Amino acid sequence: MKTNYRKLKTMLISIMMIFFVVSIAYIYSASFTINIYKKIEDVNSLAFFLESKYPLIILAAYLIFLFSIFKFFKVSTIKKRVVIFFLLTTCLIMGFVFKIFYSDFTSKFMAKQLLFYIIGSILFLIFSNIDYRTYKKYNIFVFLISIFLLVLVLIIGTSVKGAKRWIFILGFTIQPAELAKLMFVVCFSGILSKFHENNKKDFEIIVPAMLISFTYIGLILLERDLGSALHLMTVTLIMLFVSNVKIRYTSLLMGILSLMGGLFLKISPYRWKRVKEYIEGIWTTGYGGGYQTTQSLIGIGNGGFTGLGFGSGAQKYYYLPERHTDFIFAIICEENGFIGAFFLILSYVILMIVGTKIIKKSDDEYAKYIAFGITSLVIVQVLINLFVVTGLIPTTGLTLPFISYGGSSICTLMIAMGILVNVMTPKNNKDYIS
């Protein structure tokens, strides 16, 4: 039974548009208290100069985006008129955003997120037109590039709160681990599919799997990024589990990775303190976590069933740290209540269903693994973030996919969605119809 490619693609793009609207709206709502007062010493800095030019950068990126639409897609005359009408409407909306930006500097996070989404959309168009089998062909290069990025951040990266995850370039912050996680999934999928296609034994599969996972996770742990390490470890074990490798080998890998994580956790005072706060919270209040988690739960509780209304939340007034990144879900709950949280989580469920359909209907082993890996990468991160926000696990530093502020995360996720679209393209997969 063939699957309608257009239907799945429409569902995927619709979900991405919902995430875009929610992200832009709630990053503005959650972050407008951050830069009410701009430090005088920052006015003459290069970062400030670049920030003041964000609207122009966004416009330039948008024009590239338009060019990409007509360059990579065969657009009929009627569709061109529809696209042009849509673009003119969007330009008016962007003009309104620019007006807000220049009159209110506190909207810079929203403007930057808009820029990230436009760049991400360009990347989505590009990668949706690259045959996914190309990555398998050049698997070794994917591996080497991702390792180079992880080593580079250890050499020239900047430490913040004990973690060396970021590279600062011309006022922008890049987190190589985000892209490396996607490249790991691409590389790991190639290894698993190759060994299964050649009918290798479980032991022959688990050895290279352990080597590649230890390399990635070890480098991320050296960055003191335990959240990303936990994320990648979970995705690795899930992918091994569905590959039908015997459970004892998967358990062995899980044990070794857990030991590595526990060791790095113990030698990191900042993160060890978070774990102790979590355990103490369980004993004293019934939920884990320290100040951040407490304020997050207060915000979720304030929202009730229908929420306080957009922009009416109180926790963003310097009560809840990282309100536009790690804990943005608490702001959404406070202002939209249970209803808003339910529909946002439902969007992720639909995304998971689309990913599952792609996996079930793909005729290529590599396509199955890469679709499963990308879907797992998103859903596992969603679960970890929601568990942190609700006090079920200690704070990890992982953002909410597609919603939280962050260029590295948004661009990487849009690349991943582009790869998914290419996997189910009819010309690449015979089980899809146009």
Average pLDDT estimate for 206-223: 84
pLDDT at position 288: 58
* Phi, psi dihedral angles at 212 (to 5 degrees): -70, -40
Answer with the residue of higher pLDDT: 396 or 98. Answer: 396
Region 298-324: mean pLDDT is 84
Which pLDDT does position 287 carry in this prediction? 59
One DSSP character per residue, 31-78 reads HTTTTSS--GGGTTSHHHHHHHTHHHHHHHHHHHHHHHHHHHS---HH
> Can you read off the two tokens belonging to residue 373?
């890996």
| Residue 241 structure tokens | 């589990």
> Per residue in 67-83, pLDDT tens?
666 555 555 554 555 55
Question: What pLDDT, on the 0 to 100 scale, is given for residue 417?
Answer: 94
Residue percentage of the chain with pLDDT more than 90 = 16
Q: Look up tokens 């661009």; give the residue.
A: 411
pLDDT tens, residue by residue, 148-179: 988 888 887 776 666 677 787 766 678 888 99
- Is pLDDT above 70 for 381? yes
Structure tokens at 24: 């832009």
- The pairing of strands 432-433 and 172-174 is unpaired
Least confident of 183-187, 229-233, 332-336, 423-427: 423-427
Instruction: Give the model confidence (pLDDT) of 187-202 as tens digits.
Output: 989 888 887 777 666 6
Confidence of residue 371 (pLDDT cuts 50, 70, 90): very high
Q: For residues 63 and 66, give the distance between their C-alpha atoms in angstroms, rounded to a whole number.
A: 5
Contact 340, 333 (CB under 8 A): yes
CA distance 253 to 392: 25
Percent share of the chain, pLDDT over 70: 71
- Has residue 137 got a pLDDT over 90? no
Residue bearing tokens 């034994």: 201
**What is the SS3 assignment for 160?**
strand
Cβ(236)–Cβ(257) under 8 Å? yes
Residue type, 122: I
> Would you state the structure tokens that stand for residue 389, as one six-digit string?
């926000």
Say yes or no to pLDDT of 378 above 90.
yes
Q: What is the pLDDT of residues 22-70, one digit of tens each?
A: 898 888 888 777 655 444 344 444 444 445 555 556 566 666 666 666 5
Distance from C-alpha of 45 to C-alpha of 343, rounded to nearest angstrom: 41
Assign residue 406 a region (left: φ > 0; alpha: ψ between -120 and 50; beta: otherwise). left
Q: How far apart are CA 230 and CA 222, in angstroms?
A: 13
Q: How many CB atoms lie within 10 A of CB 43?
A: 10
First to last CA, the chain: 14
| Greater model confidence, 185 or 276 | 185
Separation in Å, CA 151 to CA 144, 174, 198, 361, 398 = 10, 14, 32, 38, 20
C-alpha to C-alpha distance for 256 and 252, rounded to whole angstroms: 6
Confidence at residue 233, expressed as pLDDT on a 0 to 100 scale:
87
